[in-house]
């Protein structure tokens, strides 16, 4: 069973949230990355990932700001919707 955070213009799988950064009047929701970039040559190299960040500002998007604020305050309440695999 999956849990989702329903915002006005998007639905976020709660398991994809890495962290939520709280700033005055703004939240930044950092999601997991599904891709890896880099190179490996003769045993050395570099691998990196990019985090996808959703920024929610209180001034420009008050409804979503209130939803995320409620989710942080009480993550087991009505801000989370349950959905089974057959719904997807």
Q: How confident is the model at residue 32 (pLDDT cuts 50, 70, 90)?
A: confident
Predicted local distance difference test score (pLDDT) of residue 5: 87
Decide which of 37 and 59 is more confident.
59
Altogether, the residues listed in the chain come to a count of 88
How many other C-beta atoms are found inside a 10 Å radius of the C-beta of residue 45? 9
> Which contacts (CB < 8 Å, 24+ apart) does range 51-54 have?
51/18, 53/28, 53/29, 54/10, 54/12, 54/28, 54/29
Q: How confident is the model at residue 72 (pLDDT cuts 50, 70, 90)?
A: confident
Predicted local distance difference test score (pLDDT) of residue 84: 43
- pTM of this structure: 0.70
């Amino acid at each position: 069973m999956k849990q989702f955070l329903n915002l006005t213009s998007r639905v976020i799988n709660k398991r994809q949230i890495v962290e939520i950064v709280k700033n005055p009047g703004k939240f930044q929701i950092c999601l997991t990355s599904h891709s890896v970039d880099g190179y490996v040559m003769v045993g050395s190299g570099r691998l990196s990932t990019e985090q996808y960040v959703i920024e929610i500002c209180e001034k420009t998007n008050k409804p979503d700001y209130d939803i995320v604020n409620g989710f942080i305050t009480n993550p087991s309440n009505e801000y989370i919707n349950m959905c089974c695999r057959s719904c997807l």
